[in-house]
Amino acid sequence: MLEFENLSAAELLSWAISAYGGDFAIATSFQKEGMAIVDLACRAAGPAGCRVFTLDTGRLPEETYQMMEVVRERYGISVETVAPLREEVEQMVAAQGPNLFYRSPELRALCCEVRKVRPFHRKLGELKAWAAGLRREQSEARAGVRKAEEVDGRMRLCPLADWTSEQLDQYIRENAVPVHPLYARGYTSIGCAPCTRAVAEGEDQRAGRWWWEQETTKECGIHFAPNGTVKRGA
């Protein structure tokens, strides 16, 4: 897949839309990266050629639901929401309580598995390729992310893998891309409401995710294996 490394984000998205059509979709939680990808894809193909989906875990901040409507109004895209199975959530909460994730990394991983990872993989069953907002600069764990590679039998694209924070902010500013309201309140990474907070000056970009955990990989399990490495194809 090395031939994709020299493509720009716009070129990579244009290729994916042309190659996969409706079997390609953008996964986003409406953070800056995801919104930039949506904007780039719509410029390449128009709203009719751009599928967007998000995980509705049942614990999202209200501002994230607002962003779904912003995407609908700005780009003319009906965001596809993917929810966990009700019976799985009910069983987990009955056994461990609603805020189990605060008690141990293992229980936090269970919550992410039920609310995010399993629904995500069910959605991938509809697709042949998908795009994510991973950037190498975001964390040490993400430093090895490739722009394109096969993962779990499908093509995963990370069009912004080589973008810096400065490049991302410049693109958003120059193209008036909508920004999630929580950034204005000091958030640098946005997930479920109970598991995300604003960061202090000088903290790592992902310091606000699961901040009560020490010496753990700050990832939910969608993109990373249990040992903290990026999931790869065979």
Residue 190 included in any domain:
yes
Element (H, E) at 54: strand 52-55
Whole domain around residue 75: which residue ranges? 2-195
Whether residue 234 is predicted with pLDDT greater than 50 in this model: the reply is no
Q: What is the CATH number of the domain that holds 133?
A: 3.40.50.620
Mean pLDDT, rounded, of the chain: 90
Residue with tokens 């993400």: 142
User: In Å, how far from its chain's centre is CA 181?
Assistant: 17
Whether 162 maps to a domain, the answer reads: yes
User: Does residue 214 form part of some domain?
Assistant: no
Q: Specify if 212 maps to a domain.
A: no
Angle between helices 165-174 and 32-45 (to 10 degrees): 50
Whats the size of the chain, residue-wise? 234
Any idea which residue has 């000056």 for tokens? 201
C-alpha R_g of the chain: 17
**pLDDT tens, residue by residue, 27-58:** 999 999 999 999 999 998 876 678 999 999 99
- Tell me whether residue 223 is in a domain: no
pTM of the model: 0.89
220, part of any domain: no
What is the predicted pLDDT for the residue at 35? Answer: 97
Alpha-carbon distance of 41 to 173, in angstroms, equals 17
pLDDT tens digits for range 182-228: 999 999 999 999 999 999 888 887 888 888 988 777 677 776 554 44
Question: Would you place residue 140 in the very low, low, confident or very high pLDDT band (cuts 50, 70, 90)?
Answer: confident
Mean of pLDDT values over 15-29: 95
Q: In the chain, count of helices (H) and strands (E)? A: 7, 6
Output the six-digit token pair for 21: 């059509």
Structure confidence at residue 203 (pLDDT)? 85
User: What is the residue type of 231?
Assistant: K
The count of domains in the chain is 1
Q: Which of 72-86, 90-104, 162-176, 217-231 has the lowest mean pLDDT?
A: 217-231
Q: Which helix (H) or strand (E) holds 89?
A: helix 86-96
Domain assignment of residue 232, yes or no: no
Active site residues: 220
Q: Is residue 209 part of a domain?
A: no
- Tokens representing residue 94 in the block: 């009955």
